Amino acid sequence: MNRYFIEVQYDGTAFHGSQIQGAQITVQGELNKALSLFLRKPVDTLGASRTDEGVHALCNFYHLDLEENLDHKILYNLNAILPSTMSVKHIYKASDPAANARFEATSRQYRYRIYFQKDPFLFERALLFPYSIDKEILHQTSALLMKYTDFETFSKRNAQTKTYNCTLYKSEWQTVGNELHYVVWGNRFLRGMVRALVGTQLRVARGKYSFEEFKAIIESKDCSKADFSVPGFGLYLEQINYPEGLLIPLQ
């Protein structure tokens, strides 16, 4: 039995999230349908990272098991079947047939995009935020987050997780052209965590909370004090990393 990892990218506004949810259109559902049609048999996949409705992905992974030996030509066939709002970037064979797309991932990187003046070409690609903010405060709040490992405050309820501990390797705000981006890279993320980090930091930058109040919010471990309200369409799952040698490109 061969285990394959499929790397996909998608426009999150076209789907009701990445994970299968009944009859709703989802990324995983469309991928399963395309694979099943091409292989002429039912196919199920397992995803590396669950993204909410509206959240985009430049990189997400799914794994599946097949007796067949696939080659790189399947990329063309799958992309011809998939909707225009998603595509398969790469397919890899796992060197370990027991490797799990979710649990083998060593880190993930997300980016949240904000812009300040109406731009029709950024509609549902980034968050329009026409308010005055203190960017220096944002640099301070993002640096502060690097000092913590317990992010229970920034996890939605009923997350079904055994631990709220996450290690952040990067947490910073970047000016990119006329946009402001929050980039966060870590070993794992909790349900709703990145959007809560963004929303709560923006409240500090608008003077709704002081820096000391932000620190207290982090340490409170109370998700009712975090701001989860920023929309999903500003968020991008940008990168998922795996151990070297695990993913072998198809020939």
Q: What is the pLDDT of residue 157?
A: 81
Query: For the segment 164-192, what is each residue's pLDDT rounded down to a tens digit?
Result: 999 999 999 999 999 999 999 999 999 99
CATH topology assigned to domain 2-104: Alpha-Beta Plaits (3.30.70)
pTM of the model: 0.95
Catalytic residues: 52
* Gap between the Cα atoms of 197 and 148, Å rounded: 13
Q: Which residue has the tokens 């309820």?
A: 157
Q: CA 42 to CA 122: how far, in whole Å?
A: 38
Residue 243 CA to its chain's centroid (Å): 19
Q: What is the CATH number of domain 107-238?
A: 3.30.70.660
pLDDT at 159 over 70: no
Taking alpha carbons only, the member of 83, 79, 75 closest to residue 11 is: 83
* pLDDT at residue 158 is higher than 80: no
The token duo for 69 is 């030996």
Domain ranges of the chain: 2-104, 107-238
pLDDT digits over 178-227, tens only?
Answer: 999 999 999 999 999 999 999 999 999 999 999 999 999 999 999 999 99
* Token pair for 44: 């199920």
DSSP per-residue codes, 56-72: EEEEEEEEEEESS---T
Rounded to whole angstroms, the Cα distance separating 169 from 147 reads 10
Topology alike, domains 2-104 and 107-238: yes
Burial group, residue 193, by CB count within 10 angstroms (0-12, 13-18, 19+): buried
